């Protein structure tokens, strides 16, 4: 069925890729720029293009609902054109592969020794990507239509050329977020970053002082993190705070939230601890299923989402993402974006389906990012929903959801096992 639909789509959109007789550019390039094509009346307002885009929209939405909003919203329209590009070049899969986010681990070096570190960071490794290799990665992201570029670690502020890379990113059409433990944010850093167009930072705060310092492996890291947040807010940067929830700090969530709100934090999110990376050594810290379900019920009923001062997020908070009224469509965007909407690039170039999953054998030193994303047999294991086991395999939402593949692998050692935390299959 999918192959037949792809063939039909490619036939319908093929004229968009024919070169203009006057300028040689494909029609779709004019559409991306909002221009009238030299060789014909092909604009967004022309009936030929409108009818084509409406037909294309039905493949994803199941109906024409929302199509006018898409056609008149620059961001949504750009996303639709990206899907057309993917359909023409690679064909579409279900769930959809639509590259949106790349996270890059700037360095393996870190000044802390977190007990739950995903990357098992510590000392710098010898073969980290050079500045020129990182810039090439950024260029590939732009060419691929990536919208979000995250800088992770280790601790990215320890990378000697980080400001050279930041300066290059400022010239690119990417939403950039720097994830940091914030302990190295001093006057010198603030002076340089205050002049930067990079506005978004993510900081980890894993409980109140005693528990945070214990998990981070260094006394004083809590107060330094808070000081770093204060410095960032003084220069009007957007700060998100992420808290990893354990059995030891679960009762501190609201106290931490309150403290972050006082600091002017823009967004606060929680994740439950996964037994992955160094987290394997403290698996007994992982919250119980009963605690997980209590959190889900708490955050589902509390009106935290409407807090205008500080947004709250937790992807584990229930199944509200599923629209039961939405008509069925041949293609679906999955809640789990591993290898579908996002990839993580390690400090030495290795690819992971997401930051919480093991390294693959793919490396951007050996292959272009686009080819890895759409052609890698290793990544197909995360992209396919055909071999899911347990309740995820039998669930009617397996395409739209699939559970968290990272959580499934962390707890069972198998990427296709059921998500042991899933609330949908239990209801």
Provide the pLDDT confidence category of residue 88 given band limits of 50, 70 and 90: very high
- Consecutive H or E run containing 369: helix 369-375
Rounded percentage of the chain residues whose pLDDT exceeds 90: 66
Q: What is the DSSP string of 231-280?
A: HHHHTT-EEEEEEEE-TTTGGGHHHHHHHHHHHT-SEEEEEE--S-GGGG
Q: Confidence class of residue 319 from pLDDT cuts 50, 70 and 90?
A: very low
Predicted confidence band at 45 (pLDDT cuts at 50, 70, 90)?
Answer: low
Whole-prediction pTM: 0.92
Q: How confident is the model at residue 417 (pLDDT cuts 50, 70, 90)?
A: very high
Average pLDDT for 318-331: 54
Q: Is the confidence at residue 320, as pLDDT, over 70?
A: no
pLDDT of residue 67: 80
With a CB cutoff of 8 Å and minimum separation 6, the contacts of 1 are: 330
The answer to whether 121 and 154 have CB atoms below 8 angstroms apart is yes
The pLDDT of residue 317 is: 43
Residue 178 has what pLDDT?
Answer: 98
- How big, in percent rounded to 5, are the helix, strand and coil portions of the chain? 40, 10, 45
pLDDT confidence of residue 35? 73
Highest mean pLDDT among 73-87, 312-326, 363-377: 363-377
Instruction: Label residue 287 by pLDDT band (50, 70, 90).
Output: very high
Tens digit of each residue's pLDDT (9 = 90 or more) over 218-247: 999 999 999 999 999 999 999 999 999 999
pLDDT of residue 43 exceeding 80, the answer is no
pLDDT of residue 325: 47
Residue 359 per-residue DSSP state: -
Rounded CA gap, 36 and 24, in Å?
14
Give the pLDDT confidence score for residue 427 in this predicted structure.
Answer: 57
Residue 318 has pLDDT above 50, yes or no: no
336 token code pair: 């789990």
pLDDT in tens, 184-219: 999 999 999 999 999 999 999 999 999 999 999 999
351-352/342-345 β-pairing: antiparallel
- Looking at residue 213, what is its pLDDT? 98
Give residue 367's pLDDT.
98
């Amino acid at each position: 069925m999918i192959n037949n639909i792809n063939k039909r789509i490619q036939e319908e959109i093929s004229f968009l890729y024919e070169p203009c007789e006057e300028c040689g550019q494909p029609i779709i390039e004019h559409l991306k720029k909002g221009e009238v094509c030299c060789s014909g009346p092909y604009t967004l307002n022309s009936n030929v293009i409108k009818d084509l885009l409406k037909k294309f929209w039905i493949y994803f939405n199941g109906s024409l609902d929302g199509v006018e909003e898409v056609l008149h919203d620059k961001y949504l329209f750009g996303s639709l054109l990206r899907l057309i590009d993917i359909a023409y070049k690679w064909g579409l899969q279900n769930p959809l592969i639509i590259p949106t986010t790349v996270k890059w681990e700037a360095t393996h070096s870190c000044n802390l020794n977190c007990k739950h570190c995903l990357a098992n960071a510590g000392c710098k490794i010898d073969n980290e990507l050079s500045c020129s290799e990182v810039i090439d990665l950024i260029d590939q992201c732009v060419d691929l239509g990536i919208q979000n570029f995250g800088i992770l670690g280790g601790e990215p502020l320890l990378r000697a050329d980080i400001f050279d890379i930041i300066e290059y990113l400022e010239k690119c059409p990417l939403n950039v977020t720097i994830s940091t433990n914030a302990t190295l944010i001093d006057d010198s850093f603030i002076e340089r970053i205050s002049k930067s167009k990079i506005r978004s930072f993510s900081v980890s705060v894993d409980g109140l002082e005693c528990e945070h310092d214990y998990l981070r492996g260094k006394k004083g890291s809590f107060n330094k993190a808070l000081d770093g947040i204060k410095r960032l807010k003084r220069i009007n940067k957007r700060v998100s705070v992420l808290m990893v929830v354990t059995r030891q700090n679960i009762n501190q969530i609201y106290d931490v939230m309150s403290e972050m709100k006082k600091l002017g934090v823009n967004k606060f999110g929680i994740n439950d601890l996964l037994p992955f990376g160094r987290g394997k050594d403290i698996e007994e810290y992982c919250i119980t299923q009963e605690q997980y379900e209590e959190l889900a019920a708490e955050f589902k009923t509390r009106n935290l989402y409407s807090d205008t001062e500080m947004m709250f997020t937790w992807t584990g908070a229930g199944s509200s993402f599923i629209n039961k009224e939405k008509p069925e469509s041949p293609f679906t965007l999955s809640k789990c974006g591993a290898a579908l909407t996002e990839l993580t690039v390690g400090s030495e170039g290795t690819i992971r389906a997401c930051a919480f999953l093991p390294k693959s054998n793919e490396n951007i030193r050996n292959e272009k990012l686009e080819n890895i994303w759409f052609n890698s047999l290793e990544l197909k294991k995360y992209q396919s929903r055909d071999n899911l086991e347990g309740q995820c395999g039998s669930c009617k939402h397996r395409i739209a959801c699939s559970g968290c593949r990272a959580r499934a692998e962390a707890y069972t050692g198998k990427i296709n096992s059921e998500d042991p935390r899933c609330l949908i299959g239990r209801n």
